[in-house]
Structures are given as C-alpha cells and as structure tokens.
Amino acid sequence: MTDYILAIDQGTTGTTALLVGHDLRVHGRRTVDFPQHFPNPGWVEHNPEEIWASVRQAIIELLEATDTASKQIMAIGITNQRETTLLWERADGQPAANAIVWQCRRSASICQKLKDRGLEETYRRQTGLVLDPYFSGTKLTWLFQESAELKHRAEDGHLVFGTIDTFLVWRLTGGKTHVTDVSNASRTLMMNLQKLEWTDNLLEPLEVPRCILPEILPSSQLYGHTRGLDFLP
C-alpha cells in the first residue's frame, strides 16, 4: 500500500487538495470553491465554516477519486492565503466573526491614525511592512474597536487569533494545536523580523492582547497530529 503526502492549498476563492507521492509527483487533485462576501464597498469577508467545509470536501473527493484510503496519508502540508484574519472560541473552535480577507480595506482609517502618531517607520523597520489594511494587525484592531464584547473576550483569553494556516491546524488537530509559521506571522504587522517573535511595541498600538496569539514555528516542522476527524485518521 502506497503512502502519500496530502497537500492543502487554501486560497482566496477555493481549496485544492493534492496527493503527492514519494516520487514528488502529484497523483491526484481536487478543487472546491467557496464564496466571498462583500457586506460594504471595499469590504471582503469569508465564512470560516465555508472555508473548513471546502477543505473537508476537497480531501474527501480526492481520496475517493484516487481510490486512496485515509490511512495512506502519512503527512499533511498546508499553503494558504496569508493576512486573512480570524477569531474563534478557544473552548470549542467556533468562529467569533467572519474572517476579514486580505483584500479588505475597512481598516484604512486605523492605518492612517497610526501613521499620524509617527509609527510607520517603527513598523517598517521591525516588520518589513508598511502600514496598510492588507495586513492582519489593523484588521484585528478594527474588530476590537467595533465590538467591545470581542475585545473583552479576547483580553480574558476566551478567543484566539489566527491566519488561515492556524485555523486549519487547530481544526485538524481537534483544537490541540495553536500555532503559525514564520511566513504567515511575518504578514501580520505583529512579528519582529529580527527576533521572529511577537513584540509588545508592535502589539500595543494595535490594541492586540498577546494571549490570543499562536506560537510561531518554522515553516517545516511537526505541528501536531490529526484528531477527531471523520475523513482523516
């Protein structure tokens, strides 16, 4: 029985699952699309449950199409749309709000206020990024400024933050693993590029509590084991 690597490519409009062999050839692929939501001009959202459903469906269809048993999957790799910002419940993994997608421009005024405070050079020097709504940090600021309940629940440790990779790893491991990789963390405005860690002087102007943040790990590392899934071992 042949073993495979399952590659999950979670993108902005769809999820592709690929079966990769020891020969590094792709032995099968399936793509499942999901909708984007546009509640206001310049705003873009995803329903996290629709993202998760697309991941699940793509994997199930891939295994069925290639006549592959789930026990033949020896490892999983994830690549994903970066910057897209999610909050979910620490207790049960349920989304606290729709994901704010990387294209969304709703936090433009927050970026301008940070610039007016003279902070743009600090962020550029420490993160390599400009102050722009593209990145995750000001999306979180917007969520907390718009909802006092979300802010309080985050500060009390009831909510956790993640980009798409973090959300998928959380779901795949049954809520046992709250991590991100340096590539995704580097697109949040919250990770110091020299230290490869979250730093308070970046978090505090964004009003982001440290307790909601995932652990930052190298991009190639064992992150956890699948748990509690009906489509993977």
pLDDT over 90 (residue 155) = yes
Q: Could you say which DSSP state residue 85 is in? A: B
pLDDT over 80 (residue 52) = yes
Please return the burial class of 159, using the count of CB atoms within 10 Å of its CB with bins 0-12, 13-18 and 19+.
buried
Mean pLDDT value across residues 151-173: 97
Tell me how far apart the alpha carbons of residues 46 and 38 are, in angstroms, rounded to a whole number: 9
pLDDT over 80 (residue 1) = no
Q: Domains, the chain, ranges and CATH? A: 4-217 (3.30.420.40)
pLDDT digits (tens, 9 = 90+) for 70-122: 999 999 999 999 999 999 999 999 999 999 999 999 999 999 999 999 999 99
pLDDT, position 69: 92
* Average pLDDT of the chain to the nearest whole number: 97
Mean pLDDT value across residues 44-48: 98
pLDDT, position 216: 98
Helical packing angle, 108-116 and 136-146, nearest 10°: 100
Continuous segment of H or E residues that includes residue 197: strand 197-198
Q: What is the DSSP string of 21-60?
A: -TTS-EEEEEEEE---B-SSTT--EE-HHHHHHHHHHHHH
CB atoms within 10 A of CB 10: 23
Mean pLDDT value across residues 53-69: 96
pLDDT, position 90: 97
Tell me how far apart the alpha carbons of residues 26 and 68 are, in angstroms, rounded to a whole number: 13
Q: What percent of the chain shows pLDDT beyond 90?
A: 97
Say which amino acid occupies 69: A
pLDDT, position 142: 98
pLDDT, position 153: 97
Q: What percent of the chain shows pLDDT beyond 70?
A: 100
Asked if 188 and 137 count as a contact pair (C-beta separation under 8 A), the reply is: yes
Band (41; pLDDT cuts 50, 70, 90): very high
Tell me how far apart the alpha carbons of residues 88 and 91 are, in angstroms, rounded to a whole number: 9
In 3D space, the residue among 96, 217, 84, 106 whose CA is nearest the CA of residue 156 turns out to be: 96
Band (126; pLDDT cuts 50, 70, 90): very high
Mean pLDDT value across residues 50-60: 98
The angle at the Cα of 210, spanning 77 to 175, to the nearest 5 degrees, equals: 40
Q: pTM to 2 decimals?
A: 0.95
Please report, for residues 138, 165, 201, the alpha-carbon distance to residue 114 in angstroms, rounded to integers and kept in the order given.
Answer: 10, 27, 13
pLDDT, position 150: 97
Where b means 16+ CB within 10 Å and e means fewer, 100-138 reads: bbbbbebbeebbeebeeeebbeebeebbebebbbbbbbb
